[in-house]
Amino acid sequence: MSTFNGLIDEIPFISVDRFEKHNLHSSLFFLSHCHYDHMIGLNRDLILPGKLYCSEISSIFLKKQFPNLEQSIEILDLEVPTVLFNPKESDTKIVVTTIPALHCPGSVMFIFETQNKRILYTGDFRYSETAINKYPILLNKTFDVIHLDSTFLSDNYCDFPPQSESLRIICELTKTWIERGSEYKVIIETPAQYGLECVVRELYKKLKVLCSVEERHLEKYLYFPEMDRCLSNDINLSSVIIKQKNFSNRNKSANLEKLKKCNYRILKPTAIYWRNWSNNKPIYVHEGNEVYRIAFSNHCSLKELKNFLHMTKPKELKLNVLPSDSLSRQRMENTLDLILKNIQEKEENEKEDYIYCLNNIQKIKNTPIKKNDIHIQNLPPKRIKF
């Protein structure tokens, strides 16, 4: 859950993923993706005092959800640097570039560049260790600051299975149950604040299965492009029902009451539960009574975060998701200290290797070389801010 206040210190006239109180003094606005905790302040009465920039997919969601913002919304094309001027000071400009965040449909990271600073705001993201290589723009630049999705910056969540594997298991467990007959239904339990858009999409793609969603949560899905063909509002026609957590309350749901003669299999895709998961462990557990819990994350594991920081080497790091209690915060800070120390050591070693290599070349050339002549473009992170 994002705790970011929406402000980027180096660019005081923009707000990102927060649209309330002090943010409304900004003159340019940015939305990384359409999850509740990144849209705080957006509502059907709000008139934003500036343009709201987002991806094309997010723009479709936003326009349907908040028709009042239609005139404010501007689409940023992926990976295309766009120059934006501060409307209040026309000689002040920034260059913004979006990169896919691989978190949910339409989710992006933002690279903001001013005359002398380069800032990466990751929003929520899930990058496997190889995903970052698809976006050389992240590797070829020096970032002064990275605002990082630190949801799983914890020793408890060193690793998660690839999302493709989790989706494969969900499809398999669905298929083997619903093929028994029309009275066999699967219920997928979803966390309260978010949707499971990629699960809905995958079930349709792989099994041609339509999902139904409780009416009060429909808007989380309905406004995403492509989603409407994967959904049915007739619970009798759907083999899969997406249901918010606390399924024990199912008897209170009028819709599910109609289906009480059905046989249910319950799938619980979740990340929080999977402390200390490693790739020699199963991706799901059978909890009995046709209840299955599946390891599924659309945020980076600690291992993926380490890799991301090793590859990007920011000068300064700021965390977008902070625990509410001081003990967990301290643990997060300790974990981060270890990562940064490790990056610095690695950097030093690489520097030594580089000098060793150059020295060998210089021996052949018979010319001395000074250590200070070596220029390492990307500096290791200097400090963190909480």
Contact 301, 152 (CB under 8 A): yes
Q: To which residue do tokens 């933002």 refer? A: 110
- From the list 6-14, 42-50, 120-128, 136-144, the region that binds Zn ion by CB under 5 A is 120-128
- From the list 118-126, 222-230, 232-240, 371-379, the region that binds Zn ion by CB under 5 A is 118-126
Instruction: Pick the closer one to Zn ion by CB: 49 or 100.
Output: 100
- From the list 28-36, 143-151, 197-205, 274-282, the region that binds Zn ion by CB under 5 A is 28-36
Q: How far is the CB of 207 from Zn ion (least distance, A)?
A: 25
Query: What are the b/e assignments for 286-323, b being 16+ CB within 10 Å?
Result: eeeebbbbbbbbbbbbbbbbbbbbbebbbbbbbbbbbb
Contact 188, 221 (CB under 8 A): no
113 binds Zn ion (CB under 5 A): no
Question: Nearest 5°: CA angle at 107, between 196 and 336?
Answer: 95
Contact 306, 339 (CB under 8 A): yes
Q: Which of 11, 32, 35, 313 contacts Zn ion by CB under 5 A?
A: 35
Q: How far is the CB of 184 from Zn ion (least distance, A)?
A: 32
Count of beta carbons in the 10 Å neighbourhood of residue 374: 12
- From the list 70-78, 116-124, 131-139, 162-170, the region that binds Zn ion by CB under 5 A is 116-124
299 binds Zn ion (CB under 5 A): no
Q: How far is the CB of 36 from Zn ion (least distance, A)?
A: 8
Q: How far is the CB of 2 from Zn ion (least distance, A)?
A: 8
Q: Distance (Å, rounded) from C-alpha 8 to C-alpha 25?
A: 13
Instruction: Pick the closer one to Zn ion by CB: 32 or 312.
Output: 32
Give the distance, in angstroms, between the CA of residue 2 and the centroid of all CA atoms in the same chain: 10
Q: How far is the CB of 223 from Zn ion (least distance, A)?
A: 15
Instruction: Pick the closer one to Zn ion by CB: 113 or 124.
Output: 124
Q: Distance (Å, rounded) from C-alpha 122 to C-alpha 117?
A: 16
Instruction: Pick the closer one to Zn ion by CB: 113 or 197.
Output: 197
124 binds Zn ion (CB under 5 A): yes
Instruction: Pick the closer one to Zn ion by CB: 35 or 293.
Output: 35
Contact 48, 157 (CB under 8 A): no
User: In sequence order, what are the residues at sequence separation of 6 or more whose Cβ sits closer than 8 angstroms to the Cβ of residue 224?
Assistant: 34, 57, 60, 61, 105, 106, 195, 197
Q: How far is the CB of 107 from Zn ion (least distance, A)?
A: 7
Instruction: Pick the closer one to Zn ion by CB: 255 or 270.
Output: 270
Q: How far is the CB of 327 from Zn ion (least distance, A)?
A: 25
Instruction: Pick the closer one to Zn ion by CB: 293 or 299.
Output: 299
Q: To which residue do tokens 């120059």 refer? A: 83
Q: How many residues make contact with Zn ion (CB under 5 A)? A: 2
Q: How far is the CB of 156 from Zn ion (least distance, A)?
A: 20
Q: How far is the CB of 229 from Zn ion (least distance, A)?
A: 23
Site for Zn ion in 127-146 (CB under 5 A): none
Binding mask 72-111 for Zn ion (x = CB under 5 A): ----------------------------------------
- From the list 10-18, 33-41, 300-308, 366-374, the region that binds Zn ion by CB under 5 A is 33-41
Instruction: Pick the closer one to Zn ion by CB: 195 or 381.
Output: 195
Q: How far is the CB of 213 from Zn ion (least distance, A)?
A: 18
Instruction: Pick the closer one to Zn ion by CB: 35 or 185.
Output: 35
Q: Is 357 left (phi over 0), alpha (psi -120 to 50) or beta?
A: alpha
- From the list 6-14, 117-125, 138-146, 376-384, the region that binds Zn ion by CB under 5 A is 117-125
Q: Distance (Å, rounded) from C-alpha 276 to C-alpha 167?
A: 20
Instruction: Pick the closer one to Zn ion by CB: 135 or 194.
Output: 194
Which residues contact Zn ion (rule: CB under 5 A)? 35, 124
